[in-house]
Amino acid sequence: ETTDAPVETYRKVRINLLVQDFNEVKDQLELYEQDEHFAEFINLFSVMRDKKIAAISSMHAPMDED
């Protein structure tokens, strides 16, 4: 029984380290996914802004006189 205790302790420590590693990787993946969503949002915002500017510019464009 005395040899089982150190083995069990080592096993628990290894499991805890693996869980920590997994959680770190998971957190990094979540940050990456959030960054991707943020980049998509910024891109959509830029497209909307450009369309609005184009629409306003076309309303103020000088008309050709015939």
Model pLDDT, residue 59: 82
pLDDT digits (tens, 9 = 90+) for 15-45: 999 999 999 999 999 999 999 999 999 999 9
> Is residue 66 scored above 90 in pLDDT?
no
| 16 domain-assigned | yes
Question: Which residue segment(s) compose the domain that 43 sits in?
Answer: 1-53
Indicate whether 53 pLDDT > 80. yes
65 in any annotated domain: no
Please indicate, yes or no, if residue 17 is contained in any of the structural domains. Answer: yes
In a domain, 6, yes or no: yes
- How big is the chain, counted in residues? 66
Q: Is residue 12 part of a domain?
A: yes
Q: How far apart are CA 53 and CA 59, in angstroms?
A: 10
CA angle 58/64/65 to nearest 5° reads 145
Q: In 3-state terms, what secondary structure has residue 1?
A: coil
Place of tokens 């949002």: 41
